[in-house]
């Protein structure tokens, strides 16, 4: 509830009597209804007409306002909705909020429903998470597929980075031996053999982030409640690629740091 009150015992929905004459009722509207019909002003206490039959309307007094929620699909725009007291309908869906496990509550809920409405037949009791999961099947499938391709891409990137750093160590083995013999520190040696790979990583990050921002609208259409330009969405690839670079560079860097200058110069001499 955003404003007003909830339904109470004795509240009825707008209807027609036995003579097809309109009978006033009450209802609760959502925020989209208030924005659309009342320009955002408070609709509580206002009266509107609700269609009951062809060319026949019944008065509806608005008693409350609730927050907007998706009605059929999670991606649909928020539409004006009016909620009225439960009446004599053939089929309906009852939403129950529980503090604990909703699945464990199902048997008790079924008994309470049958006690309250003996004529009602409960077809099934399902947690709302099942409906949401059904709505997100496509998004979950895309997430898994892109996750697999991203993993393969990271693996290839790691192999490529390892090859670049390892080649730098092999090609500069004599130079590394001379540097160590002259007193070069391990940090200097590591920086010397990884500078080329660092340039490639930097170029890849700039190109990847630039492409992600440029195609933000296209990417955003595949996401739900996640913006492609969110700081977290941009920071995670940087951290992941940095970790991949560190893991791929570690073996050749350790080999370079442990180079024996005497043996290296003797073999290459």
Give per-residue pLDDT as tens, 189-222: 888 778 877 888 888 888 888 887 777 667 766 6
Beta-sheet strands, E only, within 127-228: none
Q: Is the pLDDT of residue 88 over 70?
A: no
User: What are residue 16's DSSP bridge partners?
Assistant: 22
Ranked by mean pLDDT, which of 42-56, 111-125, 255-269 comes out on top?
42-56
What is the per-residue pLDDT for 264? 67
In this prediction, residue 46 has a pLDDT band, given cuts at 50, 70 and 90, of: very high
C-alpha–C-alpha distance, residues 49 and 58, integer Å: 5
Sign of CA dihedral 148, 154, 158, 160: positive
- Within this chain, do residues 140 and 84 fall inside the same structural domain, yes or no? no
- Within this chain, do residues 153 and 71 fall inside the same structural domain, yes or no? no
Q: Is the pLDDT of residue 228 over 60?
A: yes
DSSP state of 77: P
Could you tell me if residue 97 is inside a domain? no
User: What are residue 22's DSSP bridge partners?
Assistant: 16
Could you tell me if residue 99 is inside a domain? no
What is the per-residue pLDDT for 44? 96
Range 130-140 average pLDDT:
81
C-alpha–C-alpha distance, residues 59 and 65, integer Å: 17
Place of tokens 């990884």: 194
- Count of alpha carbons within 13 Å of 124, Cβ hemisphere only? 5
- Within this chain, do residues 174 and 245 fall inside the same structural domain, yes or no? yes
Residues 6+ apart with CB under 8 A from 240: 154
- Within this chain, do residues 146 and 260 fall inside the same structural domain, yes or no? yes
Query: Is 228:213 a contact under the CB 8 Å cutoff?
Result: yes
Could you tell me if residue 154 is inside a domain? yes
Q: Is the pLDDT of residue 150 over 60?
A: yes
Pairing of strands 15-16, 56-66: unpaired
Digit-coded pLDDT (tens) for 176-193: 777 777 777 878 888 877
- Give the CA-trace dihedral at 30, 12, 105, 131, to 10 degrees: -40
- From 101, 83, 113, 110, select the one nearest 6 (Cα to Cα): 83
- Within this chain, do residues 259 and 140 fall inside the same structural domain, yes or no? yes
State which residues form the domain around 75. Answer: 3-88
Of 88, 104, 119, which residue constitutes the final position of a domain? Answer: 88
In this prediction, residue 30 has a pLDDT band, given cuts at 50, 70 and 90, of: very high
Residues 6+ apart with CB under 8 A from 60: 14, 24, 25, 26, 27, 47, 48, 49, 50, 82, 84
- Within this chain, do residues 256 and 141 fall inside the same structural domain, yes or no? yes
- Within this chain, do residues 53 and 140 fall inside the same structural domain, yes or no? no
Of 31, 58, 88, which residue constitutes the final position of a domain? Answer: 88
Could you tell me if residue 130 is inside a domain? no
Could you tell me if residue 209 is inside a domain? yes
Q: Where is pLDDT greater, at 76 or 149?
A: 149
- Within this chain, do residues 42 and 154 fall inside the same structural domain, yes or no? no
- Within this chain, do residues 81 and 161 fall inside the same structural domain, yes or no? no
- Within this chain, do residues 148 and 235 fall inside the same structural domain, yes or no? yes
With both helix axes pointing from N to C terminus, report the angle between 186-214 and 231-257 in degrees, rounded to the nearest 10: 150
Q: Is 83 left (phi over 0), alpha (psi -120 to 50) or beta?
A: beta
Could you tell me if residue 17 is inside a domain? yes
3-state secondary structure of 207: helix
C-alpha–C-alpha distance, residues 59 and 52, integer Å: 10
Could you tell me if residue 32 is inside a domain? yes
Task: Please count the structural domains in the chain.
Answer: 2
Query: Is 29:62 a contact under the CB 8 Å cutoff?
Result: yes
In this prediction, residue 267 has a pLDDT band, given cuts at 50, 70 and 90, of: low
Q: How far is CA 150 from CA 108, 155, 212, in A?
A: 46, 9, 14
For residue 200, the surrounding DSSP H or E stretch is helix 186-214
Of 70, 88, 106, which residue constitutes the final position of a domain? Answer: 88
What is the per-residue pLDDT for 268? 58
Could you tell me if residue 117 is inside a domain? no
């Amino acid at each position: 509830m955003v404003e007003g009150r909830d339904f109470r015992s004795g509240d009825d929905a707008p209807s027609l009597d036995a003579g097809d004459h309109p009978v006033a009722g009450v209802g609760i509207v959502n925020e989209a209804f208030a924005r659309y019909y009342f320009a955002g002003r408070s609709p509580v206490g206002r009266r509107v007409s609700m269609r009951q039959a062809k060319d026949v309307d019944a008065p509806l007094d608005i008693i409350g306002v609730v927050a907007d929620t998706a009605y059929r699909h999670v991606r649909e725009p928020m539409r004006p909705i009016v909620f009225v007291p439960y009446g004599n309908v053939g089929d309906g869906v009852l939403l129950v909020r529980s503090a604990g496990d909703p699945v464990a509550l199902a048997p008790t809920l079924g008994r309470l429903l049958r006690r309250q409405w003996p004529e009602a037949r409960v077809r099934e009791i399902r947690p709302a998470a099942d409906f949401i999961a059904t709505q997100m099947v496509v998004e979950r499938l895309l997430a898994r597929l892109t996750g697999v391709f991203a993993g393969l891409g990271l693996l290839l990137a790691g192999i490529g980075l390892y090859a670049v750093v390892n080649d730098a160590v092999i090609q500069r083995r004599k130079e590394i031996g001379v540097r160590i013999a002259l007193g070069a520190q391990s940090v200097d040696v590591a920086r010397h053999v990884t500078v080329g790979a660092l340039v490639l990583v930097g170029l890849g990050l700039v190109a990847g982030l630039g492409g992600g921002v440029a195609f933000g609208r296209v990417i955003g259409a595949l996401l739900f409640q996640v913006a492609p330009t969110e700081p977290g969405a941009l920071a995670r690839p940087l951290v992941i690629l940095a970790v991949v670079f560190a893991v791929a560079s570690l073996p050749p860097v350790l080999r370079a740091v442990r180079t024996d200058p005497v043996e290296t110069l003797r073999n290459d001499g």
